[in-house]
Amino acid sequence: MGRATIAILGGAGNTGRRLARLLARGGDCDLRLMGRNKAAVDDAAARIAAETGAPLVGIRADSSDGAGLLSALSGVDLVVSATSATRNAPTVASAALRLGIDYFDIHLSSAAKWKALRANEADILRHGLQFVSDGGFHPGLPAAMIRRLSAGIELTHAPVYASFNVDWSRLSFGPGAAEDFIGELREMDPSVFRDGRWVRSWRNARDFDFGPPLGRRQTIAMGIEELRSLPDRLPPLQDTGFYIGGFGPAVDYVALPIAMLAASLPPLRRLAAAGFFAALKRRTRHEEWTVLVCDGRGTRDGAPVAVRLRVSHDDPYELTAIAAAACVREMIRGKRRPGLLPQGLYVDPDVFFGNLSDMGAKVEESVAPA
């Protein structure tokens, strides 16, 4: 692909504007920031253009409006869905397919989203398009981390642990974002691959020592699409899964259960979501961090080894944008790989982790005798 034109839906959002800034710095694409609030995307485009010197424009577009997207995305090479509305991903993907353009999203790993995307998989391949879903760092990084460590090592155990904290008090969200977030939490799948088989249970929890400054934290399993096929791709693998830390005791054990119960009743859904976000803003710590660790075991040349890959950043939204930008770089710069894949399986691990480092993520890797 030559100079690409990329549209970012949610371009004025917490992640969308960071992603736009990273791509603008690359200087090899034209960016259209899209959102329902024209003034907001115009302002984001002007600020990023002034900072980077790159040409950006703001365009009003609604990710739920299929007909409007067909017009807004005309002349685009790749559309990025960076809104909070996972439920609209099939609408965006359908518009991309009709226009014959590539598609990328940073939504959580939703079963409904994947069902809708897979319904079009044959047409995606037939038209030679690249459709990449589950971008960012959770999902997005775990399978890529495991694939990176599997080069030259027969992995038998490769769980990935993550902990992050956002200063919720300083963030603002558009209408419906809180409800979308609660809905995605309610759909979370606590599945892991243990002893050679998939096990779904809310008891899939582990303590993990992230090292300084975080220390030991409790994590729970969060099933993500990118890990599903890894046992078939890496036959020696007997143990893998994605384990993520919570928001803190007050939110995990009080605010979240109440919000999820209330959200199951449609009349209370909006109130429950607003109450949960208020608890996040008041009851979570204001420091920010993100860390993911793949803590692996296996053999190299017949000898047992312990391997570890650690990715970290001070800003969770920035790491999401960095990981997404690294994948988008491959989509527009590298050899085309048509089909439908999650980010963690689409990227070339060597290229991807090099891009992460170049854009400011801290990547640490070690191998030692077990």
Handedness of CA 313, 289, 108, 140 (dihedral sign): positive
Alpha helical stretches, state H, the chain: 16-26, 38-52, 66-72, 89-99, 111-118, 121-126, 142-149, 177-186, 230-233, 249-250, 256-263, 269-283, 316-333, 343-346, 349-358
- The whole-number pLDDT of residue 183 equals 63
DSSP string, 100-116: T-EEEE-----HHHHHH
The answer to whether the bond into 213 is cis (omega within 30° of 0) is: yes
Mention every residue, 6+ apart, whose C-beta is less than 8 A from residue 197: none
Residue 279 has a pLDDT of: 72
Answer for the pair 198, 224: CB distance below 8 angstroms, yes or no: no
Mind listing the domains of the chain with CATH numbers?
Answer: 4-133 (3.40.50.720), 142-314+363-369 (3.30.360.10)
> Which pLDDT score is estimated for 27?
84
In angstroms, what is the C-alpha Rg of the chain?
20
Residue type, 324: A
Angle at 255 between CA 249 and CA 259, to 5 degrees: 145
- Asked if 28 and 3 count as a contact pair (C-beta separation under 8 A), the reply is yes
List per-residue pLDDT tens for the chain, 370 residues long. 678 999 999 999 999 999 999 999 988 899 999 999 999 999 999 999 999 999 899 999 999 999 999 999 999 999 999 998 888 999 999 999 999 999 999 998 988 999 999 999 999 999 999 999 999 999 999 999 999 999 989 999 999 999 987 666 666 665 566 666 666 666 678 899 999 999 999 889 899 998 877 888 889 899 999 999 999 999 999 999 999 986 666 666 666 666 666 656 677 667 766 776 677 667 666 667 799 999 999 999 999 999 999 999 999 999 999 999 999 999 999 899 999 999 999 999 999 999 999 999 999 999 999 8
Amino acid at 363: V
Short-list 25, 61, 66, 64, CA closest to 40: 61
Report which DSSP code applies to 301. Answer: T
Which two three-digit tokens encode residue 221?
A: 């399993």
pLDDT of residue 110: 87
In DSSP terms, 146 is beta-bridged to none
pLDDT at 171: 61
Check residue 55 and give its pLDDT: 87
